[in-house]
Amino acid sequence: MSSKIKTLISGRGLTLLFFQIGLLMVGMLISVPGASSLTDDNVEASNISTIERLQMNLFINYDENTQPTVGGQPTNISLGLNVNYIDIDELNGKITLHCWLNARWKDEQHSWNAREYDNITKVHLSGHKLWKPQITLFNSAVEEGNFLVSTQLILSSDGTVLWVTPAVYTAYCSLNMRNWPYDVQTCKLKIGTWSLNNIEAVYNKESHELNYENLVQSTEWEIVSGSNKFVHQDFYNYIEFTFTVKRRSSMYTAVIYTPATCIVLLALSTFWLPPQMGEKILLNGILIVLISAFLMYFAQLLPVLAENTPLIVVFYSASLLLLSLSMIIEVVVLYLATAQHKRRLPDFLKRLLNGKLGTWLHLSYFSNESESRSAGNGNGIVKELDEHIYDNADEPINPLDINSSEMPSARALQYDWVLLATAVDRICFIAFGLVYVVLCIVYAV
Q: Which of 208, 220, 228 has its CA nearest to residue 184?
A: 220
Cα–Cα distance for residue pair 51/338, rounded to 1 Å: 102
CB 402 within 8 A of CB 416: yes
Question: pLDDT (tens digit, 9 = 90+) per residue, 291-305?
Answer: 999 999 988 888 776
Q: What is the DSSP track for 62-84?
A: --TTSPPEETTEEPPEEEEEEEE
State how far the alpha carbon of 1 is from the alpha carbons of 6, 10, 111, in Å. Answer: 9, 15, 69
Which of 431, 437, 182, 426 minimizes the C-alpha distance to 315?
437
Which of 107, 103, 62 minimizes the C-alpha distance to 82? Answer: 103
**Beta-sheet pairing, 210-211 with 153-156:** unpaired
Dist CA 379 CA 369 (whole Å): 10
Distance from C-alpha of 197 to C-alpha of 134, rounded to nearest angstrom: 12
Q: Confidence band (pLDDT; 50, 70, 90) for 147?
A: low
Task: Give pTM, 2 decimals.
Answer: 0.66
The mean predicted confidence, pLDDT, of the chain is: 75
**Measured distance CA(159)–CA(105) in Å, rounded:** 8
- pLDDT tens-digit profile of 52-88? 788 788 888 777 778 887 777 778 888 888 888 888 9
Encode pLDDT of 168-226 as tens digits. Answer: 889 998 888 888 888 899 999 998 877 665 666 553 443 456 777 777 777 788 888 88
Residues ≥6 apart with Cβ < 8 Å to 37: none
DSSP, residue by residue, 186-245: EEEEEEE-SS---EES-S-TTS-SEE-TTPPPPSSEEEEEEEEEEEE-SS-EEEEEEEEE
Cα(341)–Cα(183) distance, integer angstroms: 55
